[in-house]
Amino acid sequence: MKLGIGVSEDLPIPVQQRIATHVEAAGFRSLWTNEASGRDALLLCQAWAAETTDLDVGVGVVPIWTRSPAQLAMASATLQEASGGRFLLGLGVSHGATMGPWHGAEVRKPLTAASELLTILAQIEAGERSDVRGEVLSSRRFRLAIADRPPPTRRYLAAMGPRMLELAGSRAHGTLLNWAGPDEVAEAGRRVRDAARAAERDPEQVEVAAYVRVAVAEDRDAATGALAEQIVQYGKLPAYASHLERQGFGAALRAASEAKDRGADALAVAEALGEPTLGSLGWAGTPADDPSGMLDRFAAAGLDHCVLRVVVVEEPAADGVAAVTRAFDRFTGAV
């Protein structure tokens, strides 16, 4: 199982570049960021690539509604050229609650839109003229004007439901899971690999990656509370609430949300959430604690690429990233 690090885009570029060099030196395989309302994630990947030589740089995820397919193909090819083939493109449908107000985008038929985008990107990347007049996304007669096309971009489809997982298995280079415990990882991996076989693809070539939240601080209680509060925060989003409910965490999430609404502190929220939920969805501890049990559970579930998404316990955030790399760097060659 490969190990990567995931960080917020909301850090200054010079700090991000120092993080990238540190993460590479510590032996991690990849560095990922999200795209929300801060720095442009693709430009951030370029900043990382400029400071490193072997580290894969990824975005998890680009919302499929915010860039045209042709523009995304141009950006991906440019990043592949600049990084020497180290760019990882995560694609996701995001949330209508932000895509509409922020971008004026209509979120509709997400499975259809994702399929159409993958088709268009594959056509353009192959040097063909795009030829998709889709129900949601379209591109016609566009050809990428870059001589000596760069290496193919590895595309990861963010997925929670069965049909999106099957699309990832049949059409993408991998899937990127989020807020998935080991049991969910195992089930998702089975769906992805079965879909790959049905599409006559090698299932071993379709990577199952997942963000796993990690909070590390000298104060173990503070780290545990920070992880718990982030679980509750995401659980307020309808898509994640349903996702967590399906995994059996619904009752724990409701108890923790009620505690939070009553004004409970972070540690009390963690107690309401309970260790089974905390231990399934992430890991919290001090730099001296041993996270090998968590890593072993995800590896046994069939996870190919574990992205340790840093939960900031206290500012400055860069110190939290450094704490996570120190806690996990001894596993970069052994997991």
* Domain limits, the chain: 2-218+286-331
Close Cβ partners of 57 (under 8 Å, ≥ 6 residues apart) = 20, 30, 31, 32, 45, 48, 49, 79, 83, 86, 87, 88
Write the DSSP assignment of 195-241 as a string of letters: HHHHTT--GGGSEEEEEEEEEE-SSHHHHHHHHHHHHHHHHTSHHHH
Amino acid letter, residue 79: L
Band (pLDDT 50/70/90 cuts) for residue 334 is low
Instruction: State the architecture of 2-218+286-331 in CATH terms.
Output: Alpha-Beta Barrel (3.20)
Band (pLDDT 50/70/90 cuts) for residue 129 is very high
- Provide φ and ψ at 107, rounded to 5°: -90, 110
Segment 314-324 mean pLDDT: 92
**Joined tokens for residue 330:** 């001894």
Q: Cα dihedral angle (62, 67, 73, 79), rounded to 10 degrees?
A: -60
> Is residue 138 packed enough to be buried (19+ CB in 10 Å), middle (13-18) or exposed (0-12)?
middle
* Integer angstrom CA distances of residue 305 from 4, 32, 177, 187, 199: 7, 12, 10, 16, 22
The predicted pLDDT at position 167 comes to 98
Closest CA to 244 of 280, 210, 270: 280
pLDDT digits (tens, 9 = 90+) for 25-67: 999 999 999 999 999 999 999 999 999 999 999 999 999 999 9
Provide the angle, in degrees to the nearest 10, between the axes of the packed helices 266-273 and 250-261. 160
The predicted pLDDT at position 323 comes to 94
The predicted pLDDT at position 97 comes to 85
Band (pLDDT 50/70/90 cuts) for residue 10 is confident
Segment 135-143 mean pLDDT: 98
**Joined tokens for residue 239:** 């898509």
The predicted pLDDT at position 177 comes to 98
β-pairing, 138-140 vs 131-133, is antiparallel
Segment 307-312 mean pLDDT: 97
* Integer angstrom CA distances of residue 12 from 19, 75, 82, 309: 11, 21, 21, 18
Do 215 and 226 form a contact (C-beta atoms < 8 A)?
yes
The predicted pLDDT at position 77 comes to 97
Segment 99-120 mean pLDDT: 96
Q: What is the pTM of this model?
A: 0.96
Residue 239 clears pLDDT 70, i.e. is over it: yes
Q: What percent of the chain has pLDDT over 90?
A: 95
Segment 205-234 mean pLDDT: 97
Band (pLDDT 50/70/90 cuts) for residue 200 is very high
Band (pLDDT 50/70/90 cuts) for residue 335 is low
Segment 222-251 mean pLDDT: 96
Residue 95 clears pLDDT 90, i.e. is over it: no
| Rounded to 5°, angle at Cα 257 from 253 and 259 | 120
Chain mean pLDDT for the chain: 96
Closest CA to 171 of 216, 88, 111, 214: 111
